[in-house]
């Protein structure tokens, strides 16, 4: 009984929202069949009239709701043309043909609604990924079942195998694997160890883990995705906005033409019923339903496709813009590089041992919070070196750090600082000088009678070279690196990944100026970045692209496209998806306009029966919808 009540409520809500429930064409067909049968079987007039009324109300009721709303907003739409045609058929006694018109029109709208729901189903299913409850650990370690909305950053939750991750969190204890396909599009589970982040909505397919909450439920990655998608569904593509404007004037023109098609032939001697019938047919065949639906059907399908692959477009406009890119500009740190420095070389001067140099540096840096300290410590741990104990750390901003290691003073930092503080003359090797010239950050170490150096670099993303090659292969003309780093680093990174041109030492306003110059030249430019300092450039570009949903709020708010999976190879996929959508929209517009032209000319020259006109009109509408849904298919 509850399910029937819910169904009735769903139907009522659909009608109130102006959406065609699937039962309306069935009810229309049933009423029309009874009306036709009653007319031939000499049923009572009242019963036949009731049957025809049922058919007209069922087939045209939802259209009437939409039309009244449009007229109140002083707008004309294609539903008005259909309703006038059906009413006109009834006026001249052609009840069956009017009912056929309403049946096919309501069937088309119902199938259209189902098709469009299919395009958004993958996105709306994200809402179901959010669990309602979570197992929280209190200060004593006791488990408490709480609402996910009540979790705050810093608290701990326990997640068992098979459960969904309730909020964005970091692994505190344990190791597991998570299925995060719904969030990032990755097909295989990803291993997560202590210290690694996990997205809300992911499924724990490994062992039991304890997580530290990083974001509240309302600010989780999943919630961000849902908000971005909801905004994208409301934003219209330029082509769609043009069609919406075109629809108003076109509908008024068709109404005027239909009036002329009644009055002029009648004045020239054509029987009124014949002139009126042909005018009603004109209203149907000239209705731009297929034109109007061709763009949103394809755009929504493309947005759904992109969301499943970890591409969040903020509406149809960036989707269209991406189809015709001339230049792709990249930030460096966190975009072309992983944004985390690593030690690439350890050099020992004189008779010193490289492992000892690294161990001394790690002993100092374990006490430090400098952004390069973690890289040095991680390299030491990765090599399995015995930890040395440092004490009495002293940081000198912009120069380096000092600490006592086994009772001896050890200095880490710039060469001049290290020589001054340690009293050891550091004579760098030719290799150290080469590393500095190549753009690596070289940190010197001296103490306990030994000296050496370490080269530290922000590693280029492993997929960056492939991503740039793919962009060029699909016809994106130029690539550009815009970075605040020095020229040596910019040149090295550009050469490594295959960037065509680079600009170094740029402030945020300099990046904006560089993009403005390209746009003024007539180029369509995409900017790819991830940080707060990239936000102005993302806003300036023809299309701004943010790396990763976990990036800064400023970048995410400004960007037109978000790469959820934080992989550069998604750029080429996004461009190919955009081009497929553009190609299908063009096909749909050309086909729908051609069908309208053929039907209108045929009706004016030879005459066309109303049912045949309806069939051609609604058939073309369904064809463009189905053609648009082809964008859901995977790209080869």
Q: Which residue has the higher pLDDT, 226 or 598?
A: 598
Q: How many CA atoms lie within 13 A of 298 on its CB side?
A: 32
- What CATH number corresponds to the domain at position 194? 2.70.150.10
Per the structure, the count of domains in the chain is 3
Helix (H), strand (E) counts: the chain: 22, 22
Q: Give me the active site residues, please.
A: 331
- Whether residues 146 and 165 fall in one domain: yes
- Whether residues 446 and 471 fall in one domain: no
User: What is the pairing mode between strands 561-563 and 311-313?
Assistant: antiparallel
Q: What is the DSSP string of 462-516?
A: TTHHHHHHHHHHTT--EEEEE-SS-HHHHHHHHHHHT-SEEE-S--HHHHHHHHH
Collect all residues with Cβ–Cβ distance below 8 Å to 185 and sequence separation of at least 6. 308, 309, 310, 564, 565
Collect all residues with Cβ–Cβ distance below 8 Å to 29 and sequence separation of at least 6. 55, 103
Domain annotation covers residue 2: no
Query: Which pLDDT does position 158 carry in this prediction?
Result: 93
Query: Which pLDDT does position 370 carry in this prediction?
Result: 74
At what angle are helices 221-234 and 95-124 packed, to 10 degrees?
A: 150
- Whether residues 216 and 328 fall in one domain: no
Range ranked top by mean pLDDT from 58-72, 78-92, 187-201, 373-387: 373-387
Q: Which residue has the higher pLDDT, 67 or 231?
A: 67
- Integer-rounded Cα Rg, in Å, for the chain is 33
- Whether residues 431 and 488 fall in one domain: no
Give the C-alpha separation, 51 to 528, whole Å.
62
- Whether residues 435 and 371 fall in one domain: yes
Query: Which pLDDT does position 116 carry in this prediction?
Result: 55
How many angstroms separate the Cα of 542 from the Cα of each of 90, 395, 518, 572, 619? 53, 44, 10, 17, 37
Q: Last residue of some domain: 413, 436, 460?
A: 460
Domain annotation covers residue 415: yes
* pLDDT value at 120 more than 60: no
Q: Which range marks the domain in which residue 192 is found?
A: 130-227
- Whether residues 542 and 400 fall in one domain: no
- Whether residues 443 and 527 fall in one domain: no
Collect all residues with Cβ–Cβ distance below 8 Å to 581 and sequence separation of at least 6. 298, 299, 301, 302, 319, 320, 323, 631
For residue 12, give both structure tokens.
């009522």
Domain annotation covers residue 242: no
Q: Last residue of some domain: 575, 602, 622?
A: 575
For residue 62, give both structure tokens.
């939802």
- For residues 294 and 588, is the Cβ–Cβ distance under 8 A? yes
Query: Which pLDDT does position 211 carry in this prediction?
Result: 92
- Whether residues 451 and 342 fall in one domain: yes
3-state helix, strand, coil in the chain (%, to 5): 55, 20, 25
- What CATH number corresponds to the domain at position 491? 3.40.50.1000
Summarised one tens digit per residue, pLDDT across range 136-178 is: 998 888 899 998 888 888 999 999 988 888 888 899 998 888 8
DSSP state of 164: B
Strands of 116-253, DSSP E: 133-137, 143-147, 156-159, 169-173, 176-179, 190-192, 197-198, 203-204, 209-213
Domain annotation covers residue 30: no
* pLDDT value at 412 more than 60: yes
Domain annotation covers residue 235: no
Q: pLDDT band at 184, cuts 50/70/90?
A: low
Summarised one tens digit per residue, pLDDT across range 49-106 is: 898 888 888 888 887 888 888 788 787 777 777 777 778 777 777 777 778 778 877 7
Query: Which pLDDT does position 124 carry in this prediction?
Result: 53
- For residues 306 and 565, is the Cβ–Cβ distance under 8 A? no
Domain annotation covers residue 252: no
* pLDDT value at 636 more than 70: no
Query: Which pLDDT does position 17 carry in this prediction?
Result: 46
- Whether residues 401 and 499 fall in one domain: no
Neighbour tally for 65: CB within 10 Å: 16
SS3 346: strand
How many angstroms separate the Cα of 207 from the Cα of each of 64, 143, 170? 57, 17, 15
Neighbour tally for 459: CB within 10 Å: 14
For residue 615, give both structure tokens.
């069939």
Domain annotation covers residue 112: no
The residue-averaged pLDDT of 531-550 equals: 77
User: What is the pairing mode between strands 441-447 and 450-460?
Assistant: antiparallel
Collect all residues with Cβ–Cβ distance below 8 Å to 542 and sequence separation of at least 6. 321, 325, 519, 524, 525, 526
How many angstroms separate the Cα of 217 from the Cα of each of 152, 200, 229, 300, 479? 8, 8, 17, 27, 38
- What CATH number corresponds to the domain at position 403? 3.40.1110.10
Query: Which pLDDT does position 115 carry in this prediction?
Result: 57
- In the chain, the percentage of residues whose pLDDT exceeds 90 is 11
Phi-psi region of 161 (alpha: psi -120 to 50; beta: other; left: phi over 0): beta
- Whether residues 435 and 544 fall in one domain: no
Measured at the CA of 499, the angle between CA 496 and CA 504, to 5 degrees, comes to 90
- Whether residues 388 and 529 fall in one domain: no
Q: What is the DSSP string of 541-580?
A: SSEEEEE-TTS-HHHHHH-SEEETT--TTHHHHHHHHHHH
- For residues 504 and 331, is the Cβ–Cβ distance under 8 A? no
Give the C-alpha separation, 214 to 220, whole Å.
9
Listed residue (458, 459, 460, 465) closest to 571, CA to CA: 465
Block residue for tokens 């390069």: 372
- Whether residues 161 and 182 fall in one domain: yes
Q: pLDDT band at 499, cuts 50/70/90?
A: very high
Partner residues linked to 411 by β-bridges:
402, 446
Domain annotation covers residue 177: yes
Q: Which residue has the higher pLDDT, 462 or 2?
A: 462
Give the C-alpha separation, 390 to 596, whole Å.
82
Give the C-alpha separation, 532 to 522, whole Å.
27
């Amino acid at each position: 009984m509850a399910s029937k009540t819910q169904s009735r409520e769903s139907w009522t809500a659909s009608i109130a929202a102006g959406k065609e429930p699937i039962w309306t064409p069935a009810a229309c067909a049933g009423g029309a069949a009874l009306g036709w049968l009653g007319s031939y079987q000499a049923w009572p007039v009242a019963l036949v009239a009731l049957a025809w009324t049922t058919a007209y109300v069922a087939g045209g009721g939802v259209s009437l709701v939409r039309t009244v709303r449009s007229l109140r907003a002083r707008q004309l739409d294609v539903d008005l043309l259909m309703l006038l045609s059906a009413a006109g058929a009834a006026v001249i006694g052609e009840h069956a043909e009017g009912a056929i018109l309403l049946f096919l029109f309501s069937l088309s709208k119902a199938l259209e609604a189902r098709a469009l729901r299919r395009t958004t189903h993958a996105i709306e299913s994200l809402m179901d990924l959010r669990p309602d409850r979570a197992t929280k650990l209190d200060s004593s370690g006791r488990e408490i079942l709480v609402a996910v909305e009540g979790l705050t950053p810093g608290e701990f939750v326990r997640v068992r195998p098979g459960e969904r991750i309730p909020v964005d969190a970091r692994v505190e204890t344990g190791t597991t694997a998570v299925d995060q396909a719904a969030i990032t599009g990755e097909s295989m589970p990803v291993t997560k160890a202590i210290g690694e982040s996990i997205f809300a909505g992911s499924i724990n397919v490994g062992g039991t883990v304890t997580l530290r909450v990083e974001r509240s439920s309302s600010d989780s990655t999943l919630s961000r995705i849902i908000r971005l998608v909801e905004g994208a569904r409301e934003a219209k593509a330029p082509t769609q906005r043009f069609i919406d404007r075109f629809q108003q004037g076109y509908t008024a023109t068709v109404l005027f033409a239909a009036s002329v098609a009644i009055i002029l032939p009648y004045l020239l001697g054509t029987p009124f019923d014949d002139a009126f019938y042909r005018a009603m047919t004109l209203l149907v065949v000239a209705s731009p339903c297929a034109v109007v639906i061709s763009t949103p059907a394809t755009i929504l399908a493309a947005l759904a496709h992109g969301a499943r692959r970890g591409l969040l477009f903020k509406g149809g406009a960036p989707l269209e813009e991406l189809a015709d890119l001339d230049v792709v500009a990249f930030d460096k740190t966190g975009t072309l590089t992983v944004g985390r420095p690593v030690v690439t070389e350890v050099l020992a001067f004189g008779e010193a041992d490289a492992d000892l140099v690294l161990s001394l540096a790690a002993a100092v840096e374990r006490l430090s919070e400098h952004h390069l300290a973690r890289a040095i410590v991680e390299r030491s741990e990765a090599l399995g070196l015995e930890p040395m104990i440092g004490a009495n750390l002293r940081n000198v901003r912009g120069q380096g750090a000092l600490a006592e290691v086994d009772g001896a003073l050890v200095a880490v930092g710039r060469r001049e600082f290290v020589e001054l503080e340690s009293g050891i003359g550091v004579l760098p090797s030719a290799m150290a000088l080469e590393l500095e010239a190549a753009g690596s950050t070289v940190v010197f170490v001296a103490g306990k009678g030994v000296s050496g150096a370490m080269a530290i670099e922000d590693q280029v993303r492993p997929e960056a070279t492939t991503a740039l090659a793919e962009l060029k292969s699909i016809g994106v003309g130029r690539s550009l690196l815009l970075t605040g780093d020095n020229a040596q680093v910019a040149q090295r990174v550009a050469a490594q990944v295959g960037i065509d041109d680079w600009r170094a030492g740029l402030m945020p306003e300099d990046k904006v100026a560089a993009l403005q110059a390209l746009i003024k030249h007539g180029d369509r430019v995409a900017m790819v970045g991830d940080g707060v300092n990239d936000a102005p450039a993302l806003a300036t570009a023809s299309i701004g692209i943010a790396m990763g949903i976990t990036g800064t709020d400023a970048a995410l708010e400004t960007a037109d496209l978000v790469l959820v999976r934080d992989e550069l190879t998604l750029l080429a996929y996004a461009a190919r998806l955009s081009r497929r959508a553009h190609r299908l929209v063009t096909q749909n517009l050309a086909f729908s306009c051609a069908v309208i032209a053929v039907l209108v000319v045929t009706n004016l020259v030879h005459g066309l029966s109303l049912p045949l006109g309806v069939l051609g009109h609604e058939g073309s509408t369904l064809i463009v919808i189905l053609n648009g849904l082809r964008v859901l298919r995977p790209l080869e």
